[in-house]
Structure 1
């Protein structure tokens, strides 16, 4: 005959074993000042011996708080979001909260289900990477009294807090770096996706060109057809930029091939590097390239990649801290915080302080 499950250890079990009241045991486990250090140590030791685990539901009823925060993420396969999840979980745990993680896979339907889960779980607040296609379901969460902090993508219609990366600044600095090194015929390879991070990078590219007195024609901003259009949760594929660049580089142009590429992610830069090598175009001698994201492989390519490093951990901890501030002082006005990324200069642009081996520096852009 097998034994059934053991009863869950309780505060009363600890109290009986030590000859204390249940109230004293509860105060000792809650680190109340009214309990001596010796009593607290004895209670904690007995709790560990019998395997006592606090009943968080009962605790939440007493405190009027679930002591749980929600995290709604779009695509955990994205290295940026993987690091974001880790930093948020560490910060939440350090503050005594639990974390409810929900993944939407960039689907509005999944996001709507996630909001229902947040409402059922009665979380205290939530950090959210929104899909950005619809937001009435987020309005319902906000109106229920659950504070929201949007991360990486904003939903300005809801007037909530937002923490993200200054994607426009990162693109501006990458483009300006290429221009400073002598590049004039620049192309931007971006994702063909309707999200604000893509739009911000395009804005940064155009602004840097304008500030340098360079015109930007429509064909200098190229949207790479991506499989993520079919399933937005898929990771980027170097093959997509490789195939696209093969066609791009075979098209004859009166000014010759581009002498600088700004890419919206490191995967696109990886595919581009192969396409350029197959055409015997040297990087950075003939063409300079910047990526975006500083993924782990970027520094270990045969030609290490100049790229924009994203402050994922800082974004995560800032978002949690802002959410906790909102829980303590809900009347404050919503805040939008953009954290500056870092341009990491490597061999794909010639390295600091400027590009090298540039054979020609034309002063005009493609028409």
Structure 2
């Protein structure tokens, strides 16, 4: 017995006495169909079991209905959240996602870009390595819409979405200053990223607004990068532990530490504990990222909740608008404010 053929767009149109064009516009949330009719069409499509043939549509439009996402490593919790949200948004719009990883290597990034070009993607969302903006020129030359997230390359002239790094570090630094700290050290990664540069600048601004001097030799404790193709986590608590231990063993006893990632706070806690320094009585600590473990630390870690899901939503919507040729024509840059989460590690 021959199998029952799947319902078509025309079947939905015939059942409702409408044109196939009206059905298509309603199911794709296009203008020109009122809310009541749109709801009736969607209900009938669901009743009939109609599923759009995305592959056939792609052939007609000359599109693969696929977007690429190029990030360093999805074990980085920020990028894991970002990729998950991009995939959800893309799926809702009828697109699939091709994930490509750079592992913070310019060569690996170039390979990912080459693969994206060969795959005929409709658009790309990327957190670039930032060593060579020229590597992205072929994407722009090919007319493929490109949206950057987290790390900025202004010379490319493309849309950019990120959490506000400078504002975020000002929030954490201002919080410990308001609680009496006068000697504050920023622990962050020693990498040439715009995110880190902006955090250092925001940190400096907070100190100077409080009438305190900023001296990179005294106020910065940079963690050497420990990235490789095998690294599963971008930040290592043991690296922060070694940097903090060296600083403390040289006689530095700051009133507070603010860190560029909660994982650094894990190593910092141990270095302080081994030297009988109590958090927050002797030293306050502020984190970054609000990772799930932070509320289980002892004491629970004050930190910063980053809006990476919102960054991903806005970036994906912007990319889809670019692909469809709608929306704002100029370059869009958005930095979304993070949210301070106060816990015991900064409360005296």
**TM-score category, normalised to shorter length:** 0.7 to 0.9
Contact 1:293 1:309 in 2 (8 A): yes
Quickly say closer, same or farther: Cα 1:23–1:202, change in 2 above 3 A. Answer: closer
Secondary structure of the corresponding residue to residue 5 of structure 2: helix
Distance 1:294 1:149 in 2: 26
What are the within-5 Å matches in structure 2 for residues 1-367 of structure 1?
A: 14=5, 24=10, 33=22, 44-45=48-49, 54=53, 56=55, 58-219=56-217, 220-228=219-227, 234-252=233-251, 257-327=253-323, 328-329=325-326, 332-350=329-347, 356=348
Measure the CA separation in 2 of the matches of 1:251 and 1:71.
44
- Secondary structure of residue in 2 paired with 1:338: strand
Q: Please say if residues 286 and 302 of structure 2, whose CA atoms lie closer than 8 Å, have aligned partners that are also in contact.
A: yes
How far apart are residue 235 of structure 1 and its match? 2.3
Report the Cα distance in structure 1 between the residues aligned to 2:265 and 2:23, rounded to whole angstroms.
61
Q: Where does residue 361 of structure 1 map in the other structure?
A: none
Residue by residue, what CA displacement relative to the aligned partner does 1:154-190 show, whole Å, maximum 9, x if unpaired? 1111100000010111101111111110000111111
Change (3 A) 1:31 1:285: farther
Distance in 2, matches of 1:43 and 1:284, equals 60
Q: SS in structure 1 opposite 2:277?
A: coil
Closer, same or farther in 2 for the Cα pair 1:184/1:331, shift >3 Å? closer
Once the two structures are TM-superposed, the CA of residue 65 in structure 1 deviates from its matched residue by 2.5
Normalization by structure 2: what TM-score? 0.85
Give RMSD over aligned pairs: 3.0
SS at match of 2:234: coil
Larger radius of gyration: 1
| C-alpha spacing 1:180/1:65, structure 2 compared with 1 (3 Å) | same
The CA deviation at 1:105 is 1.3
Per the TM alignment, residue 336 of structure 1 is displaced from its structure 2 partner at its CA by: 0.7
Rounded to whole Å, the distance in 2 between the matches of 1:157 and 1:229 is 28
Say whether the 8 Å CA contact 2:9–2:20 is kept in structure 1: no
Instruction: Supply the distance in 1 between the matched residues of 2:311 and 2:240 (Cα, whole angstroms).
Output: 28
Deviation at 1:104, TM superposition (A): 1.5
Count of aligned pairs: 327
- 8 Å CA contact retained: 1:14, 1:43: no
Q: Deviations over 1:233-265 (max 9, x none)?
A: 742111111122112111135xxx111111111
Structure 1 unaligned regions, length at least 5: 1-6, 351-355, 357-367
When residues 330 and 141 of structure 1 are mapped into structure 2, their CA distance, relative to the original with a 3 A threshold, is farther
SS at 1:228's partner residue? coil
Q: Which runs of 5+ in 2 are unaligned?
A: 25-39
Superposed CA offset, 1:33-88 (max 9, x none)? 46997xx669945x79xxxx9461x4212123222211111110011111111111
Q: 2 CA distance for matches of 1:275 and 1:297?
A: 18
Q: Deviations over 1:263-315 (max 9, x none)?
A: 11111111111111111111111100101111110111110001111111101
- The 1-side partners of 2:9 and 2:285 are apart by 66
Greater CA drift, 288-297 or 120-129: 120-129
Change in 2 beyond 3 A, CA 1:31/1:88: farther
Report the Cα offset of residue 194 of structure 1: 1.1
Post-superposition offset of 1:225: 2.2
CA distance, structure 1, for counterparts of residue 328 and residue 242 of structure 2: 52
- Per the normalisation by structure 1, the TM-score is 0.81
